Chain A
């Protein structure tokens, strides 16, 4: 029990609960089914992207090109689907976007794993190259006439209920994709040799190599997997919006990283969990969406986000310092 209380996830959950109570007490509409569903809906894209970032951060690296990859995959998939198979089911779109994502992730992987270049710099370069290439040579016009499968999926609902006020509220099917991927990443990190390797790599890369882990292989996997998740997130984003806007998604990368770190992943690697990340994402989404409900003008939003990042990282830093002192 004491072990549970001491985990970072537990602390974040407590803070989250406090936040929920606070917002809810100011405005009870926060607890309405419609609001809860809309918050859950809001976690999907951010959540899927954060799962990828979680893996990279656990392995002791960083990637900031994933939003550029997501936007690229989304836009190119939209174009390709319209041009070649407008009637195909959405699975094809996911496959195409996933493949594009894996390819672009592989570019990162080559620089990081084979040239041993710092991932921050590599992904800075690839992000700017990928986005620049898309906007300069592929297109800048929003695709408004996405294939039927996209639009169909955006209408599909997992649950449809009628709330107390008689309004119809629903939860989109897309949330299943997020849940499925979260479980997958959880299994991967917890129960596979590859997953343990990722933690080992983040804990101490040199030790991991000496222990006989295939560091290069693990890194290639990680960056390709981030690409895959980004591709999936991109397609989901376009079904949400019912269009493919090449200017979307990019710009949210620091938000995603913040969510992962809020969820307890250590930026220096070796630490982090899916549960924490899911909570971190929920945290960011609630902050972003709930200020209006509490009557705070929306232009305070960034101040609030900034304060929460600063306070939560400060709490973590002070806690780990206290732990280190106790251990010494």
Chain B
């Protein structure tokens, strides 16, 4: 009951920023379509974009969960790579060579379970440090980021682990009807996280903890337990991202996608997640990750270098933040004016 009311109010007040982001995202898409002639809006490009963004998208969902509680998780990429490496080891060390058919499918299922378990275990390490020991999340996950990446380096000694069965590579290359599997995985994760955040008491408690931890505790929320679970969930999402990564690139490396860490934070903020906690929606983050993908693909077609992309991402983030800030301040000011008039009338 309370849940619905909060959501409605939340939606109304956050609607402006979300709407603006949507408009900007459509604007970017339109601009890229115009600039690139008939190359941008092609099945080929849409397909490749739908294959590219899910990795970052799933990682961002994880970072968003941590940021809603007022924390952050810098170790997501480390977890993803570690999970990917364990999956790769299952195929290269454990699975007998020449396994086919149903046996192969069983090995793939086992490998997926290993990935999710790795994510959960790594998430449990973070959760223990943050929720039980009480370390500031940014520091705890800074340490575990080094730890997980370090373990991955120790296990692989820096080499890439390659050679997976067909049934596994299908995850990165096949499609469900017309949708690439990575895209389907992202949609499934987004829906799951969306349902958890907006339809469960646990989700509500995350928002409340992010808004005011002490008030949430006094309201009867078992804050430690909820915090613990949220980092577990982030670990699980990271493990999933690891599977998508290695099935797409066909190799598991300890230092793959290190720049994803800051990109995931960037996308979260762009999508309206408040880094001090309490705000953030799956929809916002999804639009943000899509608009960055449009920018990135569009610029690639225009033969911009990766560095020019990095530059535009930074400027894009600052521009949107400034725009939101100016708008919110204007609204706050007019709200304050209304407030003064109202109280003035009362006295």
Interface residues of A, Cβ cutoff 8 Å to B: 64, 111, 115-118, 120-122, 124-137, 140, 254, 257-258, 261, 267-268, 299-310, 313-314, 316-318, 321
In the assembled complex, B147 has its CB within 8 A of some CB on chain A = yes
A128 in contact with B314 given A299-B157, A306-B146 (CB within 8 Å): yes
Please state if A117 and B136 are interface contacts (CB–CB under 8 Å): no
Flag whether B257 is at the interface (Cβ < 8 A): no
Residues 120-153 (chain B) with a chain A CB within 8 angstroms: 129, 133-136, 138-140, 142-151, 153
| CB nearest neighbor in A for B146 | A306
> B residues within 8 A CB of A117?
321-322, 325
Q: In the bound complex, do residue A307 and residue B147 qualify as a contact, i.e. CB atoms below 8 Å apart?
A: yes
Q: Is the interface of B mostly helix, strand, loop or mixed?
A: helix
Which of A120, A127, A310 has most chain B Cβ within 10 Å? A310
List of B residues within 8 angstroms of A126 by Cβ? 314, 318
Q: How far is the CA of A304 from the CA of B146 in the complex (A)?
A: 8
Cross-chain contact B150 with A303 (CB below 8 angstroms): yes
B309 on the A face (CB < 8 A): yes
Q: Which 4 A-B pairs have the closest CB atoms?
A: A132-B311, A129-B314, A302-B150, A306-B146
Chain A residue with the shortest CB-CB distance to B269:
A121
Which chain A residue lies CB-closest to B136?
Answer: A267
Say yes or no: A118 contacts B275, CB within 8 Å: yes
Interface residue tally for chain B (C-beta within 8 Å): 45
Q: Does residue B41 face the partner (Cβ distance < 8 Å to A)?
A: no
Query: Quick one: closest B residue to A251, CB to CB?
Result: B258
Choose among A132, A137, A261, A305 the residue that contacts B313 (Cβ–Cβ < 8 A): A132
| Contact between chains at B321 and A125 (CB < 8 Å) | yes
Contact B153 A254 (CB under 8 A): no
Dominant SS among interface residues on chain A: helix
Q: How far is the CA of A129 from the CA of B316 in the complex (A)?
A: 9
- A305 touching B310 in the complex, CB below 8 Å, given contacts A121-B321, A313-B143: no
Chain B 316-327 near chain A by CB (<8 Å), digits 1 or 0: 011001100100
The answer to the question of B22 belonging to the interface, with a C-beta cut-off of 8 Å to chain A, is no
Please state if B314 and A317 are interface contacts (CB–CB under 8 Å). Answer: no
- CB B79 to nearest CB in A, in angstroms, measures 13
What's the Cα separation between A78 and B127 when bound, in Å? 46
Kindly state whether residue B103 has any CB partner on chain A within 8 Å.
Answer: no
Residues of B within 8 A of A316 (CB): 135
Residues in B whose Cβ lies below 8 Å from that of A267: 136, 138-139
Whether A317 lies near B135 (C-beta < 8 A) is: yes
Could you tell me the distance between the alpha carbons of A130 and B305 in the complex, rounded to whole angstroms? 15
The answer on a CB contact under 8 Å between A313 and B146 is no
The verdict on B158 contacting chain A, using a C-beta distance below 8 Å, is yes
B114 in contact (CB, < 8 A)? no
Give complex CA distance A206, B200 in Å: 35
* Beyond A124-B266, A125-B317, A132-B310, 11 additional pairs, beta carbon < 8 A: A115-B322, A116-B325, A129-B318, A132-B314, A133-B311, A137-B311, A258-B139, A303-B151, A303-B154, A313-B140, A318-B133
